[in-house]
Amino acid sequence: MNREESALLGFEIVAYAGDARSRLLEALSAAQSGDYARAEALVEEADACIVQAHQAQTSLLQKEAAGEDLAYSVTLMHGQDHLMTTLLLKDLMKHMIELYRRG
């Protein structure tokens, strides 16, 4: 995998993780408004985006496991960072939505 392919994979991860992040923040707003059904639907949409980001990440891991030489890029590192923070946000949003529900 060359640097350009690595960067493209990074952009793919950033895009999916970014979509998930947006939906999670929308879910929090819906919960603040008392629309818990909408909040849950948005969390499910975010989960679907995260799955797509993980699929892109898994393709990278499979290539490395197969012994392919991978060229890393800052974009790919940014994608990994974006995905990790989105996963953390997902956990936090689930708890915060539940707090609003109990509120």
Residues labelled as active-site residues: 78
**Ligand-binding site membership of 81 (annotated):** yes
DSSP state of 66: T
Within 10 A of 39 (CB to CB), how many other CB atoms are there? 26
Q: Are 57 and 93 in contact (CB under 8 A)?
A: no
3-state secondary structure of 17: helix
> 30 near 36, Cβ under 8 Å?
yes
Compute the distance between CA of residue 7 and CA of residue 96 in angstroms, rounded to an integer. 34
Task: List binding-site positions for Mg(2+).
Answer: 81
